[in-house]
Amino acid sequence: MASGRSIGYGILFFVAYLYLGQIQAEDVVLKPVADTSLLEQYPTNNLGRSTRLHVGSVPEGRSRSLIRFDLNSLTASDKVVFAALKFNTFAAPYPRGSENIAAFRVLRNWDEGVESGLFGAGAVDGATWNFPQTSSVPWQEPGSAYSYEFHYLISAQVNAHNFGETVLSGMGLARDVQSWIDQPASNFGWLLANPGESTLEITFERTNYYPNLAYIASREDAELAPELTVYLGNTNAPRVFVNGEYASGAEPVLVDLARPRGLTLESPFVDGRIFYTLDGSRPGLGSNRYTAGANVQLEPGAIIRAVTYSADYSQGGVEAEPVRIELLPRYLLTLSVGEGGSVQGNDEAARPGPFSGVYTSFTSNSVVNLRAVPLPGWAFTGWTGDLTNSETNIVVTMDRPKELGANFVPIVAERLSVRQVESEWIVLQFESQPSFNYVVQSSTNLQNWVDQQSYSNHTGVVDAILPFEPSAATRFYRLTITVAGTSGIPPY
């Protein structure tokens, strides 16, 4: 009897332990406090104030970058579940996929320095290819020494095949951040480098030269500076990924119906067991069991809840923060294209005028590049609707449905004619129309032209009265026409 009571107590305790409840996740976003590049091509140059970081290789040598974040906003009790380093690239290797960018934990202190410019300048202070801080104490090896001045294990890596936003993420970064929280004096940041860097990796496409080098926006680029997102929570909870990106549950995950929507789950335990639901119900041992590496398809409206245990079920039972899947809105772009031109944008086919209707739909916050192209004999006069602009090329952010009009006018300009000539003046005549700017010019050699009179927004016949010198050498006159958003029309 006593034995039975003992077993019953044990079972109740075990069940209580398994359902400790869900955690409250927190995302902390940090900006760098220092970053710079180390260029083998310019071994004594510092780039501490450059707006670009260099990672990769060119024929003249390798390029590496250093980056460090201030973690003082995190406390000793914080536990890092995941970490992601986001940055923006302005040049990427060719062919695409020819280079990875990897982060290595730095083991030695370094100074950012104050030199600016794409390739920096010579300096005695601040990190360079030869020195981490000053010109008196060199790196153990130029560019910093593998396994001595940066850790031999890669914390995270990503393929640098795209322009724009790139994300380095993984548990390696999380472990680094946790170690810096636990031991703040060891926070020397990361070294960004190509793990297979070589000075000989060069390719050509047509006549263009593409080195295996990525340019990354540095912290001096306020708008596109790198960001480190640290996800805090319970390290015994499962990790949830949607389309390969970590989902902390702090905000809904927006998905596009036109793209795959895959769920993957990771357990912090070796050969851990994960159970999940997609309808918001509490997960338990009877819920769907996740198979390691599987990709579960998601539908908008799903609420992911997951819990994990060790292989023998003696540890775990903490539920991850629920993750809600919401449909990313799509907005219609409606165009009205007048006669005399067309509109081209992104990869969509050109819309020649006259046209009025839906151009296409875009997911929320998509960036659309549009270009107005006038036909020969026509001029573009500007955009109307939700964006008023006279430039032929515009950028539209689709944060709501939008309507735009592209307007063109025919170029109808009579050649200059001489209406009257007197001893001291000459009257030149031409036909004008609104939205155009006209300039009457004169020359004595058909090479050097001088502006005489200008006219804007005139309609009808214009009489240009100009000084005239009968004794002067042969004089020529011409009319130049320009319209907003164009580079001009050949002179008459």
In CATH terms, is domain 417-483 a member of 1.10.260?
no
3-state secondary structure at position 314: coil
Q: What CATH number is given for 2-23+233-327 in this structure?
A: 2.60.40
| Per-residue tokens: 418 | 């001489």
Distance of CA 70 to the CA centre of its chain: 23
3-class SS of residue 233: coil
CA atoms of 35 and 134, how far apart (whole Å): 16
Beta strands 323-327; 303-309: pairing state: antiparallel
pLDDT digits (tens, 9 = 90+) for 169-205: 888 999 999 999 999 999 999 999 888 765 433 333 3
Looking at 1.10.3470, 2.60.40, 3.40.50, 2.30.30, the CATH number of the domain 330-410 comes to: 2.60.40
Task: Give the residue range(s) of CATH 2.60.40 domains in the chain.
Answer: 2-23+233-327, 330-410, 417-483
CA dihedral angle for residue 24, residue 29, residue 33, residue 35, rounded to 10 degrees: 120
- The mean of the pLDDT values for the chain is 80
What pLDDT, on the 0 to 100 scale, is given for residue 490?
Answer: 43
Nearest Cα to Cα of residue 437 among 480, 402, 396: 480
Name the CA radius of gyration of the chain, rounded.
33
Structure tokens at 259: 């793209």
What is the structure's pLDDT at 205? 33
What's the CA gap between 247 and 259, in Å, rounded? 17
At 25 the pLDDT is: 59
Residue 289 makes CB contacts below 8 A (sequence gap 6+) with 273, 274, 275
From CA 142, how far away is CA 293, in angstroms rounded?
A: 41
- Residue ranges in the chain whose pLDDT is less than 70: 1-25, 91-99, 160-163, 197-211, 257-258, 346-349, 412-417, 420, 423, 433-435, 457-459, 469-474, 482-492
- Tokens 């981490």: give the residue: 132
What burial letters (b/e) apply to 412-442, b meaning 16+ CB within 10 Å?
Answer: ebeebeeeeeeeeebebebebbebbbbbbbb
> Which token pair is 45?
């140059």
In this predicted structure, what is the pLDDT of residue 24?
Answer: 52
Predicted local distance difference test score (pLDDT) of residue 362: 82
